[in-house]
Structure 1
Amino acid sequence: MQLRILPPFASLLGLVLALLCAAPAGAQLFETKATQAFMIDVDTGTVLFAKDPDKPIPPASMAKLMTMEVVFNALKAKRITLDDTFVVSENAWRTGGAPSGTSTMFAKLKSEVRVEDLIQGVTVQAANDGCIVLAEGMAGSEANFAAQMTDRARQLGLSKSTFVNSTGLPADGQQTTVRELKM
């Protein structure tokens, strides 16, 4: 008789445990003071947590990553080489160099810097002057380069990211979202 009672009891106990374990999964178990957040499982792409993920935010130094994407894409397409040199303009020197008080590689005004060295300056030192020198050297002006950055963002599926400079320094109209930062 005990054998007949045990299987139904075990099934009931299993059902109760499953319900108890599943109940918290439906509730939000994570809180953050961040105004925006987006967390995914890297293996499956499953969204684990989202808080206002499509609200536009300034890209800050994420713009430097897009700058590097455009540079590496140009290297791959052989539009530039690592040995090409670009001149440090007064704009690059003042806006992103030592006088700016921002992150810099301290490139000297009117000096010529190799693309390879500019890449190192941007990736290691987050050099704003390096970003601007690359932008001006590759596209004639930082505004033209920013348009290329936005075009490249669209090619990569970033429909809401818009760039107006290569550095991520504050600028009207420059934006991304935390959802697009994961791409």
Structure 2
Amino acid sequence: MQFRLLPLAGLLVFGLLLFFQAPAGAQLFETKAAQAFMIDAETGTVLFSKDADKSIPPASMAKLMTMEVVFNAIKSGRLKLDDTFVVSENAWRKGGAPSGTSTMFAKLKSSIRLEDLIQGVTVQAANDGCIIIAEGMSGSEDNFAAQMTERARQIGLKTSTFVNSTGLPADGQQTTVRELAQLALHLWRDYPDFYRYYGQKDFTWNKISQRNRNPLLAMDIG
């Protein structure tokens, strides 16, 4: 079972390289990416590092921290997968169809199960899904972002700071590729029951089917 899980864990860690436009390759290689960081998922051994501690905006990788907060709440019994959250006008406009960003096309004022929102975020990188969860859990996205940062410190991320749940551009939002890899490894190790969502190749919501945005899934490497 461990053999099957490790490649899937690697999807997130190796995905950091793809996200920052780094070509895949062997241990010794050059990359045009400004920052890159690659580790062995099982041992934590650093395989490649380039400016790994430079502060950068997380973009959609911030959604990893959003899901960590959600997974932790489910694991501790504060939330259930069948809990429902209402789509506010703010979530619909800022992250839904009108926003022109990655979305699961949640319908305004509808109620959505948490598990569907999780799949929207992990598979489609849905901004509306993130905001709906943030408002449902903490009353506002600002409150949720503060909770994200607090939780980041609890799991050992020393510099990552979050201003929103989506990773959309915002002053003060920062992380490093080293801490993103650390976060990905934490998700794999601590939430095996939920980490599987990242390996889901597609998700259909509101009669719209979308493929997972992680290009490594199409390579059938695990």
TM-score w.r.t. the length of structure 1 is 0.80
- Report the equivalent of 1:80: 79
Number of residue pairs aligned between Structure 1 and Structure 2: 156
| Cα distance in structure 1, aligned partners of 2:157 and 2:131 | 22
Q: Structure 1 residue 29: deviation in Å?
A: 4.6
Q: Percent identity?
A: 84
Question: Counterpart in 2 of 1:146?
Answer: 145
Alpha-carbon distance in structure 1 between the residues aligned to 2:155 and 2:127: 24
Map of 1:133 onto structure 2: 132
2:172 equivalent to 1:167: no
- Separation in structure 1 between the aligned mates of residue 48 and residue 83 of structure 2, nearest angstrom: 44
Q: CA deviation at 1:50?
A: 2.0
Name the counterpart of 1:94: 93
Structure 2: where are the runs of 5+ without partners? 1-26, 183-222
1:18-46 deviations in whole A, cap 9, x for unaligned? xxxxxxxxxx9532211112233444433
**Cα distance change, pair 82–29 in 1 and its aligned pair in 2 (3 A):** closer
Q: Which moved more, 1:63-72 or 1:33-42?
A: 33-42
**Structure 1 runs not aligned, ≥5 long:** 1-27
Q: Which amino acid letter does the alignment assign opposite residue 114 of structure 2?
A: V
Query: What secondary structure, in the 3-state scheme, does the structure 1 residue paired with 2:150 have?
Result: helix
- The structural deviation recorded for 1:52 is 1.2
Q: Which residue of 2 aligns with 1:118?
A: 117
TM, length-normalised to structure 2? 0.67
Alignment of 1:39-118 (within 5 A): 39-118=38-117
Counterpart residue type for residue 133 of structure 1: I
